[in-house]
A = this chain, B = another copy of it.
Amino acid sequence: MTVLSMKRPVSAIPQTGRDARLAIRSGQFSGQTAGVAPGYVQGNLAILPGSLASDFLRFCQLNPKPCPLLAASSPGDFRLPTLADDLDIRTDLSRYRVFRRGEVVDEPSDVRGHWRDDLVTFALGCSFSFEEALAQADIRLTFRERNNVAAVYVTNIETAAAGPFRGPLIVTMRAFTPADAIRAVQITSRFPNVHGAPVHIGDPARIGVNLDRRYRNVGDGEVADDELPVFWACGLTPQLAVQNAKPPLCLTHAPSCMLITDLRNASLAVL
């Protein structure tokens, strides 16, 4: 269908997690997942050899704000039944990255050819979920109005290391009026499984951030005169820690091509 390579009409965008996975698995849908299956939890993916699994699990446990673990598989199991009954982690993302010793060696739309029976899958929460909650509360996300995503920065805060996994805390920045910043703290506090409350508010220099120097140039770093920058822990933190660890094999989602689950964002709220 050539229409899929053009700007798709809304009717062509899968509206549930299951529809999205089926469309991706069958090759009918490819590309970025922002706006796909609205209301359903999307996640970051990291798949590692079993010998590194317990260190990575401990890294997540030590750094829960950047690494909110939604699910972990048994070694070799390509299913994550707590996230979706039918999920096959080898085929259900629109694009993957294959890392060997920290270098990208492939960007396939299917990782069955890379699968090993010792691989352990980790699904981590992502800020799409809390951004939906903010938008539903009429909190302005001005970067979205500019068709962009939240700006990403490397801080001078070190994560707690576990085995070979170590590195700086990476954060996303969203700018709000003071009243909306207070609401944003309240709302994101309800979602500890998708980064939760901010880690910093106000002066970027206090966490070693220069707003003009975004990580990989990602996102919109604009802060208006009447706004405060607010910083959340980011899922790129474990991704960089994995790259630093240089494992023999690591499979991840490609940027913006997230794992789509059957969980509803609202179901993640703890109160």
Q: What residues of chain A have their CB less than 8 Å away from a CB belonging to chain B?
A: 178-179, 181-182, 185-186, 189, 197-203, 206, 226, 228, 271
Q: Which among B179, B197, B200 is the interface contact of A199 at CB below 8 angstroms?
A: B179
**Are A181 and B206 in touch, CB under 8 angstroms?**
no
Q: Check A201/B182 contact, CB under 8 A, given A206-B226, A226-B206, A271-B271.
A: yes
How far, in angstroms, from A200 to B182 measured CA to CA in the complex? Answer: 8
Q: How many copies does the complex hold?
A: 2
How far, in angstroms, from A189 to B182 measured CA to CA in the complex? Answer: 10
How far, in angstroms, from A187 to B225 measured CA to CA in the complex? Answer: 28
Contacts of A197 in B (CB 8 A): 182, 186
How far, in angstroms, from A228 to B204 measured CA to CA in the complex? Answer: 13
**Are B185 and A182 in touch, CB under 8 angstroms?**
yes
Smallest Cβ distance from A206 to chain B, in angstroms? 6
Contacts of A199 in B (CB 8 A): 179, 182
Contacts of A181 in B (CB 8 A): 201-202
Q: Which among B198, B200, B228 is the interface contact of A202 at CB below 8 angstroms?
A: B228
For A230, the closest partner residue in chain B by CB is B182
**Are B228 and A201 in touch, CB under 8 angstroms?**
yes
How far, in angstroms, from A41 to B185 measured CA to CA in the complex? Answer: 26
6 contacts between A and B (CB under 8 A): A178-B201, A178-B202, A179-B200, A186-B189, A186-B197, A201-B228
Smallest Cβ distance from A158 to chain B, in angstroms? 16
Contacts of A203 in B (CB 8 A): 178
Contacts of A202 in B (CB 8 A): 178, 181, 202, 228
Smallest Cβ distance from A106 to chain B, in angstroms? 40
Contacts of A179 in B (CB 8 A): 199-200
How far, in angstroms, from A271 to B270 measured CA to CA in the complex? Answer: 11
How far, in angstroms, from A162 to B35 measured CA to CA in the complex? Answer: 45
For A271, the closest partner residue in chain B by CB is B271
User: 4 smallest A-B Cβ distances: which pairs?
Assistant: A185-B185, A178-B201, A202-B228, A178-B200
